[in-house]
Chain A
Amino acid sequence: MIIYLLRRILNYIILTAVASTLAYVLASTNLKPTADLEARRPPVPQASIDMVLDKLGVNPNVPLIERVWVWFTNVLHGDLGMTINNKHVWDAMAVRAGVSLQLLLIGSILGAIIGVILGIWGAVAQYKASDQVVTVVSYLVFATPTFVLGILSMIGATQFNHAIGTQLIVFSGQYSADTPPEFWAQLGDRLSHLLLPTLVLIVIGATSYSRYQRNSMLDVLGADYIRTARSKGLTRGRALIRHGVRVALIPMSTFFAYSFGTLIAGATLLELVFSWHGMGELAITSIQKQDVNAVAGSTLFVAVLILCSSTLSEILYAALDPRVRR
């Protein structure tokens, strides 16, 4: 079993490495980090442009294969190169990664838990009013792009603040600069900033989890072993909880890996909408600024996150389903 897991994880690591390298190739061949310099008037001498290119490691005169190799070996040594603003990509990412992870972790964990509970509840109470309400809400959420949901929540929050007459919900940035330095005030300020984007992310996560869990649970409702459990003397409800839920959770481990990618994309968009200075913002702005190394670095960050979630999902799967253990 351990060996099986290791094999899967090794495969993910290779996939991650290949994907990140391909992303670097894509960025390095298509982005022109010196576009700004070249456009300057009077023209900047070619030598200094080349110097910048060399420092970034993206001089097109160096063969691509060599550039990729240098980048790749540097990454293995923990060096992600320089941004066009002459900072280490690693440093630029360190602060932002924390911001993004905060949003992602809270969003994915709470979203998953709420979604799973809603899904089970919906399946057991199929076609009852509560199930219908959840179904309608989920239709609406599925039909709305993440960023629209974010902006709509901002419009809603503005109305809400207006109605109660104070700025209870704040939705720009992670914190306000003018908050007094006391601990409670700081915490309250952070929380009020955190509220809206996290809530949106949870709603999105919970919706997809609940749909999936509901389906998985519905498949289980008719299973023969539920009937066997009842024939042993369990009531319907207890048979569903003791035997059904346990089995219905198995596909969720796979879904977790699948949905995490969507969630990362969602979180990225929300960071931009809510002006958080996270990894999503870095990824988007660095593409706009043609910053090769920053683009590659943020792609690597995403790929590593996916790697972690896939690994976690494999471990969960093996833990939940004895049939894959050997």
Chain B
Amino acid sequence: MTLSEIDIKSEGQRGFGVDVPDDPHPGTARRSLSRNALIWRRLRSTPRFWIGACSLVFLILFATVGPLLSPYTIEDQDVLYFNKPPSIVHWFGTDTLGHDILVQTMVGLQKSLIIGFVAGPLATALAAVIGAFAGYVGGTADKVIAWFIDLMLVLPTFFILILLYPVYGGNWVIMMFYLALTGWMIMAQVIRSQTRSLRERDFVKAARYMGFNPWSVVTRHIIPNVASLLIIDATLGIGAMILAETTLSFFGFGVQPPDVSLGTLLENGQAAATTRSWLFIAPAGVLVWLMLSINLVGDALRDAVDPTSGVNRG
């Protein structure tokens, strides 16, 4: 018998385990919470989550509704205001051609958000499928996939993407998919190792002994049990993809004019960064704010899913 009472860690108690039963009174006096409800309860009480989620919502509105409310479009040139710092007329100032920086930022953010929200979850989906498959099937297929992941990780993703630049050229839609194709490896490794340990868990063994085929076992038991990890990864992945997009665009390997993204705006603002800093500060500020919101939400999710994970792992 293994009454490893010292191993039972109670919620929120880091440090030496204490013999407190994890879930003391199920089914009776107070109906205990399901795992999802528990996660939601922890999430609800995390200020970080609310700060991040609210500002994320605000930024999405800023990027979608904002341009409709603005009196300017991105092509408009205000001949009275060339190169002016922020004022009551142009809140974020104007560039040398009299473009309104505020509306430029809104539209740029829109593109960056689209890229992030498509490429991030796409990369996670790839990671889930490849990782779960490799981990569950094992054997040669697993070895090949693991080696391929190692191969993909030899070069920093940034280098792979700029090598691929001539292939996708300036087409940001194709770039979005390349971002996903080069961003799944680390998570796939995590899912793979999780799956390997899940595969040895009794309930997965039981399903196998009942005669379910691998695909059913993976979809019924493996993916749902790593779902929380996937949600976290998809969230943080959005941020990572936006970061990749802005960096690529900044150096001329991403979104190309006349399309506008945060990256292209930063590129435009860079030259004058030390003299007319508003050109750079405005898109940079929005970018940092966006990343901060996404990371806050992602970290709050991670802490809610696994209270022992500590704060963000970076």
Assess A/B contact in the complex (Cβ within 8 A).
yes
- Which residues on A are within 8 Å of B, measured CB to CB? 11, 15-16, 18-19, 22-23, 26-27, 30-31, 135, 138-140, 142-148, 151-152, 154-155, 158, 207-208, 211-212, 214-215, 218-219, 221-222, 224, 227, 261-262, 264-265, 268-269, 272-273, 283-284, 287-288, 290, 295, 299, 302-303, 306-307
* A140 near B292: Cβ-Cβ < 8 Å: yes
Please report the C-alpha to C-alpha distance between residue A211 and residue B310 in the assembled complex, in whole angstroms. Answer: 10
Which of A15, A264, A288 contacts B150 (CB under 8 A)?
A15
Please, which residues of chain A bring their CB within 8 A of the CB of B251? 147, 269, 272, 284
Given A15-B147, A151-B273, A302-B156; 18 other pairs, CB 8 A cutoff: A15-B150, A19-B155, A26-B164, A135-B311, A143-B239, A144-B291, A148-B287, A151-B284, A152-B284, A214-B310, A218-B14, A222-B15, A222-B17, A269-B158, A287-B163, A299-B159, A302-B155, A302-B159
Residues on B with C-beta less than 8 A from A207 are 314
B198: min CB distance to chain A, Å: 21
A19 CB contact (under 8 Å) in B14, B151, B273, B284: B151
The answer to whether A142 and B156 touch (CB under 8 A), given A207-B314, A284-B162, is no
Closest to B252 in A: A288
Q: Does B182 reach chain A (CB closer than 8 Å)?
A: no
Q: Which residue, of A22, A145, A207, has the highest number of chain B Cβ atoms within 10 A?
A: A145
Contact A283 B314 (CB under 8 A): no
Chain B interface residue count, CB cutoff 8 Å, equals: 51
Contact A15 B273 (CB under 8 A): no
Min Cβ gap A177→B in Å is: 20
B209 at the interface (CB under 8 A from A): no
Interface centre among B151, B166, B292, B314 (most CB of A within 10 A): B314
CB-CB contacts below 8 Å: B144-176 with A: 147, 150-151, 153-159, 162-167
Contact B313 A268 (CB under 8 A): no
B296 at the interface (CB under 8 A from A): yes
**Contact status B243-A145, CB under 8 Å:** yes
Q: Is B225 an interface residue (CB 8 A)?
A: no
B277 at the interface (CB under 8 A from A): yes
- List the A side residues contacting B277 at CB < 8 Å: 155
Contact A283 B313 (CB under 8 A): no
One digit per residue, 1 when the CB lies within 8 angstroms of any chain A CB and 0 when it does not, for chain B 213-256 equals 00000000000000000000000000100010011001111000
> For the complex, what is the distance from the CA of A261 to the CA of B158, rounded to whole Å?
9
Which residue in chain B gives the minimum CB-CB distance to A288? B252
B77 within 8 A of partner (CB): no
Chain A residues, CB < 8 A from B250:
145, 147
Residues in B with CB closer than 8 Å to A138 are: 312, 314
Q: Are B292 and A222 in contact (CB under 8 A)?
A: no
Nearest CB of chain A from residue B162's CB, rounded to whole Å: 6
Q: Which of A30, A142, A221 contacts B314 (CB 8 A)?
A: A142
Listed from nearest, the 8 A-B pairs whose CB atoms lie closest are A143-B291, A211-B314, A19-B154, A30-B166, A265-B158, A143-B292, A265-B156, A261-B156
Query: In the complex, how many residue pairs between chain A and chain B have their CB atoms under 8 Å apart?
Result: 138
Contact A265–B159 (Cβ < 8 Å): yes
When the two chains form the complex, which single residue of B156, B239, B270, B314 contacts A264, counting CB atoms closer than 8 Å?
B156
A145–chain B nearest beta-carbon distance, Å: 5
B280 interfacial by beta-carbon distance below 8 Å: yes
- Which of A27, A145, A222, A268 is within 8 Å of B287, CB to CB? A145
Which chain B positions have C-beta within 8 A of A135?
311
The answer, among B156, B288, B311, for a CB contact under 8 Å with A144, is B288
Cα A145 to Cα B262 in complex, Å, equals: 12
Contact status of A18 and B312, CB under 8 A, knowing A142-B295, A146-B247, A295-B163: no
Which residues on the A side are within 8 Å of B247 (C-beta)?
A: 145-147, 269
Closest CB in chain B relative to A244 CB, distance in Å: 12
- Taken together as a complex, chains A and B put the C-alpha atoms of A47 and B289 apart, in Å, by 56
Least CB distance from B278 to A in Å reads: 11
Q: Which residues of A contact B270 (CB under 8 A)?
A: 151, 273
How distant is the Cα of A147 from the Cα of B153 in the complex, in angstroms? 22
Q: Is the interface of A mostly helix, strand, loop or mixed?
A: helix
Flag whether B274 is at the interface (Cβ < 8 A).
Answer: yes
A31 to B169, CA, bound (A): 11
Say yes or no: A215 contacts B163, CB within 8 Å. no
Residues of chain B lying within 8 A (CB to CB) of residue A146: 247
Select from chain A the residue with minimum beta-carbon distance to B284.
A148
Q: Cβ of A139: which chain B residues have Cβ within 8 Å of it?
A: 292, 295-296, 312
A-facing residues in B274-312 (Cβ within 8 Å): 274, 277, 280-281, 284, 287-289, 291-292, 295-296, 308-312
**Would you call B107 an interface residue if the criterion is a C-beta within 8 Å of the partner chain's C-beta atoms?**
no
Q: How far, in angstroms, from A148 to B242 measured CA to CA in the complex? A: 13
User: In the complex, what residues of A have CB within 8 A of residue B273's CB?
Assistant: 151, 154-155
| Contact of A143 (CB < 8 Å), options: B15, B150, B153, B295 | B295
CA distance A18 to B247 in the complex (A): 27
How far, in angstroms, from A268 to B295 measured CA to CA in the complex?
A: 24
Partner of B312, one of A15, A30, A31, A211: A211
Distance between B266 CB and nearest chain A CB, rounded to angstroms: 7
Given that A144-B291, A155-B277, A302-B156 are known contacts, is A211 also in contact with B311, CB under 8 Å in the complex? yes
CA distance A284 to B273 in the complex (A): 21
Cβ of B162: which chain A residues have Cβ within 8 Å of it? 283-284, 287
The residue that B154 contacts in the complex, of A215, A269, A287, A303, with Cβ under 8 A, is: A303
- Which chain A residues border B155 with CB–CB below 8 Å? 19, 23, 261, 299, 302-303, 306
Closest to B236 in A: A142
Contacts of A295 in B (CB 8 A): 163
Please state if A31 and B157 are interface contacts (CB–CB under 8 Å): no
Tell me the minimal C-beta distance from B211 to chain A in angstroms. 38
B292 in contact with A218 (CB, 8 Å): no
